[in-house]
Structure 1
Amino acid sequence: MSDPAQEHQYPKQVLLILTHELLERFTFYGIQMTLVPYLSEALFLKSIKHSIDWAKTFMHAFRGMTNGFLVLGAIVADSWIGKFKTIFIFCAVYVIGTIIISISATEPLRSSPALGFSLLSLVLIAAAMGSIKPSITTIGGDQFTLPQQKKHLSTYFLYFYLAMNLGGGLSFVTLPPLVQSDCYGTEVCYSVSFGFCAISVTLATIAFILGKKIYVMVKPLRHVHIQLVMCIAKGIKEKITSRTKVNHWLDHSKEKFGGVFVKDVKITLGVMIFFLPLIIYWTLYDLKSIDWPYQASLMNRHIRADLTLSSAYTQSADSVLLLIFIPIFLLVIYPLCDKYNLITTPLQRMGWGLVFDALAFFMASIVSLIIASDMPVLPQAGECHLRIYNPLECTLQINAPPYIENLELGTLEYKFIKAENVKGRYFVEYNITGCKEMFTIIPGEKLFLAEKKSYGYFTTTNGLMRFEDDTRKHLHGYARIRTLVGNRLDKDKILSVIYLEKNDLLMNISTYDISQYNVKDGFYTLKSSDEVTHFKNGGVYVVLVIFVETQIWKIKVHEVTPSNRVHIFWQLPQFIFFAIAEILLCPTSYEFIYTQTPTSMKTTTMAIWFLVTSIGAGVAGLINAIPFIGNQLVRNFFSCGLMLPFLGVFVYLARRYKYVENR
């Protein structure tokens, strides 16, 4: 009989573990967020060519070291000193590492040894992060008595995941302003940001230690990992060489390792087999972190007159939705599911998580399909794109056979020509009639065409001018503008563009300057002109101008590439589906691993599960390298389709799985 009082009592000591997780995640995400700019800008890496690339390399190495210590920390915890001592020792290492990097980042102390100390601190922090993660995840589960507190254990992992995301969210909100604060006469202050991380992990360590006397501690089983490997190796060897028939290939190891241990190994491998189809979840997770911010940069992020969202908002949108939905699942959805006996087992919830993940990428595919209509059409093999502009007060006709025949251009007009059957590079003779008093044909001048290139030509009082035409949308969603003046007058005439809302001078453009400029979404005007133009996110514009003496007489704005017309709010459904998938799968995976694996192997199995995330990221890197799915639209559909066979494998395994009770 279970004790009713114990069944309803929630272990108070888990609050200390949750507090530790929140503060440690604050530190982890804070360091991760600050590391690349610190290494590339603040240290001597700034004197090295391609310093940002070097900083990113160090960042990847830092993550790799963190993953490398996952299994090492788990082995130390499960077979040597136990979870509590592992967490305590590596928390101390964590604190030392953050203090070292905080001091190294202080401006008066920054010198050539600072790079060495910073890299040393990163090794310490990576070792600590990786070693702590599997132990802190499982030690919380040790505080619950099963089966009496089975429901409490299920909710605990949701609280644990909530603490993780709350800590990360707080770091994204609080640390960037600290980095931008002024200290020691500099515009950035990395030492303050790292200092807050050091304080946070110190408080996390203190919070964890406070529960020492009340924690339930599981004793480690010496050499369990060596026995695990030897048991599997013997089973495989005997499977190949022995003629003795057994029910399971691991039964060959019973004589040497005992039936109980062999049964535990079977159960552990039975849990780990689910990691294989779940690799795809982490693959799509990594693809989402790359593709969805880029998708956001191709969308209309204008919220109101004075607010335009950065495409980087996608980095925080997932965390915000998790913080909203986890309490809803805790208080509403899961109680209703339990009441009506719907998706109550961990594998059912994880399976539905994969379904919602596929739905998220399907929604992303639909959004990408709509966005595709706003994307510029670039010249393909055998093509050359030409755009001819006429910023003169006259009508002209152009002939350049076989590509241009009897093309008429009025004042401030432009025409697009797709020249086909272009191989290599061509010079084509042309003839222009009309505009005799304004336009001068330069003898022997020819049109230039090249395969898979775009060129712009515009008429001026000095002849026909050419520029390489870039109609692609800006990577970060800016509007791109180019100003073409036909009657250029003298080189000292300046064209001024003024931001209308603030009446601030944005830039002075010479009448001879045909460069392409990036501007934020907003309303602009040309000086001495009353016409107001809205340059929108993602649009590519050409402004044709005619002067009369020193004043602008006429202007016309052509939108060469459509602006981002699909609003950013259309990304919300895919983020909601993805957040639901994450809630159904990630915390539930912790519960599944903890409740199903033997006591002596819980931490190690959890560490291997965390390693699966790195494998998924590696698969995502391979997918990114495949040329035929480099297009965002294709990749979103590909990602959605890729999930389906793995979902089928997961369902097949789940239907055959037999739960182990009271682990």
Structure 2
Amino acid sequence: QELQLATFFSLFYFSINAGSLISTFLTPILRNDVHCFDQDSCFPLAFAVPGVLMIISIVIFALGKPMYKIKEPRGNILVEVVKCIWYALTHRSGRSVDHWLDRSEDRYGSQLVNDIKSLLKVLVLYIPLPIFWALYDQQGSGWTFQAVRMNGSLGFYTILPDQMQVVNPLLILAFIPLFTYWIYPLLAKCHLLKTPLQRMCCGGFLAAAAFAISAGVSMALESTYPVLPQAGEAQVRIYDTSNSHDSFTFVNNNTQYQVDSGYFMGTFKIDNEELKFQFDSNVIVNFAVTQKTAYGIFFTSKGGQTYIDNVDKSDDGYPLVRVLAYDQSTSFVLQHSKQNVEIEAGNFNLTSLSYTGSYKLGDTQFDVDLGGTYTITIDKNNDVKVRTITKPNSVHILWLLPQYFVITAAEIMFSITGLEFSYSQAPSTMKSVLQALFLLTTAFGNLIIVLIESAKIFEKQSNDFFLYTGLMLVDMLVFMWLAIRYKYVTNDDQESSSESDELNTTQENGKLNGIDNPALKQ
């Protein structure tokens, strides 16, 4: 039944990712393109649709109840395993035994003791597995952050950052039959990757390769990030909507600068906690500052005003715009084919725009793109100028595809094979236990990510990805060493005979609606 077992887990994984594909593609569309409760987005609908689909799936599952043969399980095998191990650990005195678990044989029986021995042999192989899941689950965090910093425009459509998560389940649906019917048989003919542990090793090395690729992409992205002030520095932008100032003196070091067409940008060393600027009309602006921070000064009908200027890219990837108007009593409307954005009078904070493309303010038309930060100035003559403060994303989002291809191939070889291996190598009474423990390695992988990210070892994301690459390579070398020492077990004739007798008995009784699971027997 080796072929049938592999087919089952492939179909099982296929169905999971079919649902994931629908969810990851549909949810961002429902969230952004539907408006509800007087909001520009509709998160309630985005959550409600998966919830309704879950209810429908439960109903479908319940309707199939007449087709199942349900046998109530007796006892709790996990509790029995823990008790047996605990008894052996706490009763070390007495007769000499070949294996430390044999001390529990008199109390729990040889069958359970032998099954636990087989269980522990497989669990040793699980020790390195959490590192793989630590890397794999970066698709929803680290890789999505990369997508936020990338250009998703295809001309006719803009790919949203979180929509890139569609790629993984989509590729899984394509890769499962590809690996099952072509790649694995071809490799078998070449006497390569014939055993589950060999495939899992290969999957682990592919995961390391995927993160080496993602580290390279991050390096390309980091070269496009805005230049932020460093330690001991402050960045200042000056906007003169009054058209009154052509130059100013930085009083802290008595240096003069020019204001070009109502705009200036510069980085200043901080000698104390205050910056002081004197403009050519004897206007003095001074304000308290902190290092590694950007500030803005703009002149309106009310005089000079200051604010903290956030010049970094937005967290969600959408463009940001700030309107600085000489007349602080007037509201403005940014017109887009899909949405109008109102800027309230006197509001000079950054406003997130839900759509890219062409906007219009009065008679002035301008374009915004993902990742860009823009400042619109309206002077006392109502002349409108649009300045790009932070350049929009320039690296295209499709450059993420290579790492998605590699990590998906790694998942096929590691996860599906791992489920199949766990089931085939577990004794009949331990199959559910071993499956649960295999899935538990995912939780430990997530914990590893939390610890590494909390430590903030590196400032650059590329260095984090290189770290994960190194960890995965070392981890797979350990796994290879353990795999080489592992001896595969096969189902004994007694279990096969038991299943055969069960089937014969069922057919004789005319009950063809199911087969008892031997794992439920005590």
Q: TM-score interval w.r.t. the shorter chain?
A: 0.7 to 0.9
- Work out which of the residue numbers 592, 595, 602 in structure 1 matches 2:421: 592
What's 1:507 paired with? 342
Q: 8 Å contact 1:360–1:574 — kept in the other structure?
A: yes
What's 1:451 paired with? 291
Q: Over residues 125-156 of structure 1, what are the superposed CA-to-partner deviations in whole Å (9 max), with x where a residue is unaligned?
A: xxxxxxxxxxxxxxxxxxxxxxxx22232232
Greater mean deviation of Cα atoms: 536-545 or 292-301? 536-545
What's 2:165 paired with? 315
Amino acid at match of 2:359: Y
What's 2:62 paired with? 205
Change (3 A) 1:441 1:496: farther
Q: Over residues 273-320 of structure 1, what are the superposed CA-to-partner deviations in whole Å (9 max), with x where a residue is unaligned?
A: 122110112222333322222221111112224x22222213332211
Distance 1:543 1:159 in 2: 54
Q: 8 Å contact 1:374–1:561 — kept in the other structure?
A: no
- Work out which of the residue numbers 346, 352, 355 in structure 2 matches 1:518: 352
Distance 2:27 2:66 in 1: 26
Matched, 1:160 2:12: yes
Q: CA deviation at 1:600?
A: 1.1
Q: 8 Å contact 1:454–1:468 — kept in the other structure?
A: yes
Q: CA deviation at 1:262?
A: 3.7
Q: CA deviation at 1:267?
A: 1.5
Distance 2:301 2:56 in 1: 68
Matched, 1:568 2:419: no
Change (3 A) 1:405 1:344: same
Q: Over residues 360-416 of structure 1, what are the superposed CA-to-partner deviations in whole Å (9 max), with x where a residue is unaligned?
A: 222222111111122233334322221233446577232124456121222244222
Distance 2:54 2:4 in 1: 31
Distance 2:26 2:333 in 1: 39
Q: CA deviation at 1:243?
A: 9.0
Matched, 1:378 2:228: yes
Change (3 A) 1:574 1:480: same
Distance 2:201 2:279 in 1: 68
What's 2:120 paired with? 269
Change (3 A) 1:445 1:376: closer
Q: 8 Å contact 1:389–1:415 — kept in the other structure?
A: no
What's 1:331 paired with? 181
Distance 1:284 1:345 in 2: 24
Matched, 1:625 2:476: no
Amino acid at match of 2:58: V
Q: Over residues 140-184 of structure 1, what are the superposed CA-to-partner deviations in whole Å (9 max), with x where a residue is unaligned?
A: xxxxxxxxx22232232112211222233345567899999999x
SS of structure 2 residue aligned to 1:558: strand
Q: CA deviation at 1:460?
A: 4.9
What's 1:472 paired with? 312
Change (3 A) 1:441 1:232: same
Q: 8 Å contact 2:331–2:342 — kept in the other structure?
A: no
Distance 1:384 1:493 in 2: 31
Amino acid at match of 1:292: W
What's 2:274 paired with? 426
Amino acid at match of 2:362: K
- Work out which of the residue numbers 530, 536, 540 in structure 1 matches 2:373: 540
SS of structure 2 residue aligned to 1:378: coil
Q: CA deviation at 1:270?
A: 0.7
Change (3 A) 1:380 1:247: farther
Amino acid at match of 2:82: V
Q: How many percent of aligned residue pairs carry the same amino acid?
A: 30
Distance 2:339 2:411 in 1: 46
Q: Which of structures 1 and 2 has the larger relative contact order (alpha carbons within 8 angstroms, sep 6+)? A: 2
Question: Please, which runs of 5 or more residues in structure 2 have no aligned partner?
Answer: 493-522
Distance 2:215 2:48 in 1: 42
Q: 8 Å contact 1:300–1:564 — kept in the other structure?
A: yes
Q: CA deviation at 1:596?
A: 0.8
Q: CA deviation at 1:547?
A: 4.7
Q: Which residues of 2 match residues 145-156 of structure 1 at below 5 A? A: 149-156=1-8
Greater mean deviation of Cα atoms: 608-617 or 625-634? 625-634
Amino acid at match of 2:350: Q
What's 1:582 paired with? 411
Q: Over residues 444-497 of structure 1, what are the superposed CA-to-partner deviations in whole Å (9 max), with x where a residue is unaligned?
A: 643543333221123456644322111121111111122334xx3x55555553
Change (3 A) 1:231 1:205: same
Amino acid at match of 1:296: A
Q: CA deviation at 1:621?
A: 2.3
Q: 8 Å contact 1:623–1:629 — kept in the other structure?
A: no
What's 1:636 paired with? 465
Q: 8 Å contact 1:359–1:577 — kept in the other structure?
A: yes
SS of structure 2 residue aligned to 1:625: helix
What's 1:236 paired with? 89
Report the aligned-residue RMSD: 3.5
Distance 2:432 2:318 in 1: 48
Normalising by structure 1, we get a TM-score of: 0.65
Amino acid at match of 1:623: I
SS of structure 2 residue aligned to 1:524: strand
What's 1:284 paired with? 135
What's 2:200 paired with? 350
Greater mean deviation of Cα atoms: 266-275 or 617-626? 617-626
Q: 8 Å contact 1:347–1:654 — kept in the other structure?
A: yes
Distance 1:401 1:341 in 2: 77
SS of structure 1 residue aligned to 2:310: coil
SS of structure 2 residue aligned to 1:614: helix
SS of structure 2 residue aligned to 1:374: coil
Question: Please, which runs of 5 or more residues in structure 1 have no aligned partner?
Answer: 1-148, 434-439
Q: CA deviation at 1:629?
A: 4.3
Q: CA deviation at 1:651?
A: 0.9
Q: CA deviation at 1:515?
A: 2.7
Change (3 A) 1:480 1:622: same
SS of structure 2 residue aligned to 1:151: helix
Q: 8 Å contact 1:395–1:410 — kept in the other structure?
A: no
Greater mean deviation of Cα atoms: 630-639 or 449-458? 630-639
Amino acid at match of 2:444: I
Change (3 A) 1:270 1:556: same
SS of structure 2 residue aligned to 1:534: strand
Distance 2:239 2:86 in 1: 75
**Structure with greater proportional helix content:** 1
Q: 8 Å contact 2:115–2:429 — kept in the other structure?
A: no
Distance 2:53 2:333 in 1: 45
SS of structure 2 residue aligned to 1:586: helix
Distance 1:176 1:396 in 2: 47
Greater mean deviation of Cα atoms: 154-163 or 346-355? 154-163
Q: CA deviation at 1:208?
A: 5.7
